[in-house]
């Protein structure tokens, strides 16, 4: 897709989607969202969160992200927006932030929650720090995506409301519950924007 084919100003066509910019691979998500037809914005403060229609939570380090979300006064506003139905997509550390419950977290680690699932931090990381693998994702056409796993979590179990969209090696690596989407891996690092496009479609439909 060329940039000239992307509507730049119409929020109906190019919804304003924030990227939580406390820590992590923010720039890559901003670029992927633009390529997927959205208008991205960095979100660091509650006022900025109030201005976006949806949010991406990047990969990075969930313990640091949790700490910074508290320091920046964002944790409660984030929880409220997610409860109110804002579409959110989390990759890797972002998936951890969207889990109602985590395993192998730090004692003081908080999550935003939103998906009724238990996520184990660094689950793949212990076996293999970083690897790539093809992942078939439900709802994504034209073949598997290249999953980039970096000290990645997996989903240990999901509750009734959550839908498993992808597994790898017997472990759940993509989940959706209503407007909340999460992947263990990093589509923002691949140049394949199908997952971001799926999210932009979720936002348009929300």
Ligand X SMILES: NC(=O)CC[C@H](N)C(=O)O
Residues that bind ligand X (CB under 6 A): 59-62, 92-93, 96, 121-122, 125, 150-151
61 annotated as a binding-site residue: yes
In whole angstroms, what is the distance from residue 120 CA to residue 83 CA? 23
Nearer to ligand X, 15 or 59 (CB): 59
Nearer to ligand X, 28 or 192 (CB): 28
Structure tokens at 130: 């970083």
Catalytic residues: 92, 186, 188
45 annotated as a binding-site residue: no
**By three-state DSSP, how is residue 204 classified?**
helix
Beta bridge partners of 133: 147
Between strands 180-183 and 54-57, the pairing is unpaired
Closest approach of ligand X to the CB of residue 28, in Å: 11
| Rg, Å, the chain Cα set | 16
62 annotated as a binding-site residue: yes
Closest approach of ligand X to the CB of residue 72, in Å: 17
Closest approach of ligand X to the CB of residue 206, in Å: 25
151 annotated as a binding-site residue: yes
Nearer to ligand X, 15 or 185 (CB): 185
Phi/psi at 57 (5° precision)? -110, 115
**By three-state DSSP, how is residue 177 classified?**
strand
Binding residue numbers for L-glutamine? 60-62, 121, 150-151
């Amino acid at each position: 897709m060329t940039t000239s084919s992307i509507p730049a100003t119409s929020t109906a066509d190019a919804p304003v989607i924030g990227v939580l910019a406390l820590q992590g691979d923010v720039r890559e998500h901003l670029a992927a969202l633009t390529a997927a037809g959205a208008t991205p914005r960095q979100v660091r403060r509650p006022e900025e969160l109030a201005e976006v229609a949806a949010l991406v939570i990047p990969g990075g380090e969930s313990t640091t992200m949790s700490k910074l979300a508290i320091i920046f006064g964002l944790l409660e506003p984030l929880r409220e927006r997610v409860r109110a139905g804002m579409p959110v997509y989390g990759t890797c550390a972002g998936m951890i932030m969207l889990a109602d419950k985590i395993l192998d977290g730090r004692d003081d680690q908080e999550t935003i929650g939103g998906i009724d699932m238990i996520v184990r931090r660094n689950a793949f990381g212990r076996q293999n720090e970083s690897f790539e693998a093809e992942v078939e994702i439900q709802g994504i056409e034209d073949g598997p995506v290249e999953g980039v796993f970096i000290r990645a979590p997996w989903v240990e179990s999901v509750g009734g409301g959550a839908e498993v969209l992808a597994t790898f090696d017997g472990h759940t690596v993509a989940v959706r519950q209503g407007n909340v989407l999460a992947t263990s891996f990093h589509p923002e690092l691949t140049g394949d924007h199908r997952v971001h496009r799926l999210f932009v479609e979720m936002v348009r439909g929300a």
